[in-house]
A = this chain, B = another copy of it.
Amino acid sequence: MNTIPFEVQTLAYAERVHESFARQGAMQTLGARLGLVAPGAVDIELDWAVGLTQQHGFLHAGMVATALDSACGYAGLTLMAEDAAVLTIEFKINLLAPARGERFRMEGRVLKPGRTITVCEGRAFALDGSQEKLVATMGCTLMAVTGRENIRH
């Protein structure tokens, strides 16, 4: 969704994302894995599991949102200063189709980086065999936080 290359503020951007991701209990609960980790772009992948479903057996909208929020948050973190942590201020998700599939890929992309505020977009795809389908889109606002006790990336 973005064609302008972003500049990173630390060469350790990918390492920081992997470290932080490993500390998210929620990502382990989702069985989520990091895919692409590039400046301004992070993908998260996961498999369907009964523990992630709503009443019709599709992925729960909130679980789609959980993976999209992390993808967007980490996309933003790749561009932040080395001592910054990232917090989500708000996000909005549109569910375009039931999240029915064997696997899912959530793409987080920075639309506009900023010193304090970063805006991201996310897209969630359901994969069945070789087919993939767009099932949700997210708009997300992040804040870079520095110097707060108990908060590191």
Contact = CB atoms under 8 A, between A and B. Distances in A.
A130 interface: no
A67 to B, nearest CB: 7
A56 B21 CA distance: 11
A150 B57 CA distance: 9
Interface of A: 1, 20-21, 23-26, 28-29, 49-57, 60-63, 65-70, 85, 87-98, 111-112, 116-117, 119, 121, 134, 137, 139, 141, 143, 150-153
Contacts of A116: 116, 143
Given A62-B68, A65-B91, 15 more contacts: A21-B55, A25-B51, A25-B53, A26-B62, A29-B52, A56-B151, A61-B66, A62-B66, A62-B70, A89-B95, A89-B117, A90-B95, A91-B92, A92-B139, A139-B139
Contacts of A134: 111-112
Contacts of A153: 55
A28 B144 CA distance: 33
A87 B100 CA distance: 13
A94 B87 CA distance: 12
Contact of A95 (B51, B88, B94): B88
Nearest to A95: B88
